[in-house]
Amino acid sequence: MPIRSLEPFLFERGQVTTLPLETLRNARIGIDVNHYLSKIHSIKRESLADAIGGIPSTLFPHLESDLKVFKDSDITPVFVFSGVDITETYRVKATKESTSSDRFRGKSWAQYAAVSQQSPSSPVALPPSAGDLSFKDYNPLSGRAFFNDLTKFFTANSIEFVCAPYLSWIQLGYMYKEQRIDAVFGPNELLLLESTDKVIHTFDIRPDTHTTDFKFVDKHRLLTELNITPMQLLDIAVSIGCDLQLTTLPLYNGVPPASMFGFGMDLVQNGQSIYAQLAASGNHEVITKFQKGIVALRNTPVLKVNGKVEPLDASSLPSDLHEIIGQRLPHEYFFYVSIGLLAPKILEALIYDAYYEKTPLDGVSTNQHRELVRAMIKIKSTELGLLTQNMNRYYQFKKIAYVKYFEDDSEIDLRKSQGIFFSINNMAIFSEKAKFSTSSFLELITSSDKEALLVSPIAKSGKTLKTTSEIISTALLRTLHFLDIFSPKSSSKYTEALRLISTLDPSYTTQYLLFLVHLKLSPTPLHEFHANSTGGSRATDTNVRDVNTLISRLLTFIPTTITGPYSGAISRSLLNFRSGLEVVQTNVRELLAAAMVSSLANGEVERMERTREQWVDLVAQTPFGESLPSTVLGTVGLALLDNADGEKSLKDTRDIVVSHFTSPSTPSIATDLQKGLKFVKDCVQIADCLNKSEALSDKNFAIYSEANKAADKLLATFS
């Protein structure tokens, strides 16, 4: 979060200088990811992004355009993500209460619900467009939300990136000081660092007008013209609110938000001390917040060139440093964060003794979503047990709160999961393949010839995992074991389904596997209907409604091409399902990462021989990392299914529905719908396997059988 009200102040005082991008030719520029995302105006125009879920459609096109301009100017970008939140920031963010964004979206959904309840006048009841509504408030996009997608994109395009152990802009300052980069592009907090002299504020890159400029602030000029010291600037920033201390302190009560920086500057220019003003109030809590914010600047750790994670100046540290940055974790774990393998949220659970499952994006607490969240407690216990296996015993006996947005917290007792690594260290896969493939992995573990599967501890075998394929395959094998889906020693109810998945369309193998895991973990059927959620099936017949609900949710697994801001119909019901699916995927990915890290930490992998390029490539190949698709294709399918038995022929109805959803930003609805319906039929095959092995009841499978018939009818209209 940038220093409040400083940005307009800088422009008003003429402190922002514009130069042509050519000035930076041959430079290495460190880019703060959160700041970069906040400056992408096209994303701000995607008002329905939070109503459909998924990656904003303009994010990667904008990024590709900028990278092309950088390449043409011989500029090397180095993107830096923020990592673990410092203590005060975490305390502000860590809440189960609804946020301003949640409330804003709730009001928008209420408006859309009112429009949706109006009776359609045409023979085909099409859901209304939500183009005039906005589900996006003033809060900027966070790099953490699309961390895996961005790191995979950077890896595929050979773009350098690193995730800082804590604050990205402090990491940028360190990199600049060590001459790893030549310039910094980031938030105005960079002006607080001793090492930075100039800070790039904005890149103005507009290919349509051939504009390629950048704006920057000169810190020396700023301090000279304002006649304040660096310490006074820090005092103002921390008291107003910035990344070091998020809240605006009572000193500014009654001051208009846009005038706060000017107010603080007037105080110090008139010889007054901000600390003295706060101390005079006698409010100990406020004074402590201010002091912690000041100390955090110098003592927030960075990832150093020697691989250690420590403060900029590690020679003199306060005895209560843990009160500022939280408890200390191994350097090795922060390395895994830096390459994108471990999510910062996991380390925050170990540091701050809590893991939060927040309100779903749609804001509705359904029975299905609540049951899924409850089902994740066992996974989280296993995951954290694996991570603490090699840590100090203090961490192994911690009690961590599993914080649910809808009820009292549950307790994760790590004592129960200690020694868990030794229950799976006799499971490993050795393969000469360099690249990992989920379908090849499933084919191997379900084949009759399992010579590649180790059935004794790696440490005793004299072998080590060397290739990327071996490392990921071994971790995934252990993950499936923890999920009670597969065992190398005996068949399970899911073995035949896994074997079938290995033979299906390889481009959707991860989606098939996610579907299987969802069925395994969800205590409620996939087709469970939510009567009070906007955008659900309108069918009056219960059986038809269940079939339509099932198909539309399966279609949500498949992406549709969106080339610009979406402005069509939306579904809160499907968004709720997507939120539940995201809970499953996130927890499975985190468990998979924990299984991999436990393997690395226990010496099963030849770590020292791997280059950074090999590390980030390993992370990019690890499944369950990419964001789930939007709900658009599911919304299309539901509109078609709900009108399938209307006055018009099925083909005419399909044409009307497809035409309704097709636009310049959604040009391939018909093609995507065909792909989605084929995926539905594949999922029915998987469900059939599970039914035959008694992993899926006859009652629930009957809905899949009907869904298969409905999908056949719809596919026939395309022939």
Residue whose C-alpha is closest to residue 62's, from 80, 81, 50, 44 = 44
Confidence of residue 449 (pLDDT cuts 50, 70, 90): low
Residue whose C-alpha is closest to residue 313's, from 324, 328, 301 = 301
Question: Looking at the DSSP assignment, which residues form a beta bridge with residue 356?
Answer: 403
Q: Supply the pLDDT for residue 107.
A: 93
Please, are residues 447 and 431 in contact by the beta-carbon 8 Å criterion? Answer: no
CA distances from 664 to 534, 565, 566, 696 (A): 26, 10, 9, 42
> What is residue 453's three-state secondary structure?
strand
Distance CA 261, CA 4 (A): 7
Distance CA 555, CA 127 (A): 17
Scanning 612-666, the segments in alpha helix (DSSP H) are: 612-621, 632-642, 650-661
* DSSP letter (8 states) at residue 605: B
Q: Retrieve residue 595's tokens.
A: 């299984």
Please name the residues in contact with 453: beta carbons below 8 A apart, sequence gap of 6 or more: 427, 428, 429, 444, 445, 477, 488
pLDDT above 70 (res 456): no
Give the mean model confidence (pLDDT) for residues 255-273: 92
Whose tokens are 């500029």? That residue is 75
Give the mean model confidence (pLDDT) for residues 675-681: 98
Residue 531: other Cβ atoms inside 10 A: 8
**Any idea how long the chain is?**
719
Topology, domain 6-88+142-224: Rossmann fold (3.40.50)
DSSP state letters, 118-161: SPP-SSS-PPPP-TT-----SPPPPTTTTHHHHHHHHHHTT-EE
Mean pLDDT estimate for the chain = 92
Give the mean model confidence (pLDDT) for residues 555-573: 93
CA distances from 500 to 59, 174, 437, 520, 711 (A): 36, 51, 15, 16, 20
**Strands 410-413 and 428-429, sheet pairing:** unpaired
- Convert the pLDDT of each residue in 129-162 to its tens digit: 887 899 987 777 888 989 999 999 999 999 999 9
Give the mean model confidence (pLDDT) for residues 352-361: 92
**Strands 309-311 and 160-163, sheet pairing:** unpaired
Q: Supply the pLDDT for residue 62.
A: 92
- Convert the pLDDT of each residue in 277-316 to its tens digit: 999 988 999 999 999 999 999 899 999 999 999 998 877 7
Distance CA 417, CA 91 (A): 27
> What is residue 203's three-state secondary structure?
strand
Distance CA 578, CA 571 (A): 11
DSSP state letters, 519-565: HHH-SS-TT---TTSTT----SSHHHHHHHHHHHHHHTTS-----S-
Residue 640: other Cβ atoms inside 10 A: 28
pLDDT above 60 (res 119): no
Q: Retrieve residue 459's tokens.
A: 């440490």
Question: Looking at the DSSP assignment, which residues form a beta bridge with residue 78?
Answer: 30, 160
Please name the residues in contact with 210: beta carbons below 8 A apart, sequence gap of 6 or more: none
Please, are residues 444 and 451 in contact by the beta-carbon 8 Å criterion? Answer: no
Identity of the amino acid at 76: T
Q: Domain spans of the chain?
A: 6-88+142-224
Kindly state the helix (H) or strand (E) to which residue 501 belongs, with its residue range. helix 495-501
CA distances from 457 to 255, 453, 685 (A): 65, 11, 36
pLDDT above 80 (res 115): yes
- Convert the pLDDT of each residue in 375-431 to its tens digit: 999 999 999 999 999 898 889 988 999 999 999 999 998 888 888 998 888 888 888
* DSSP letter (8 states) at residue 391: S
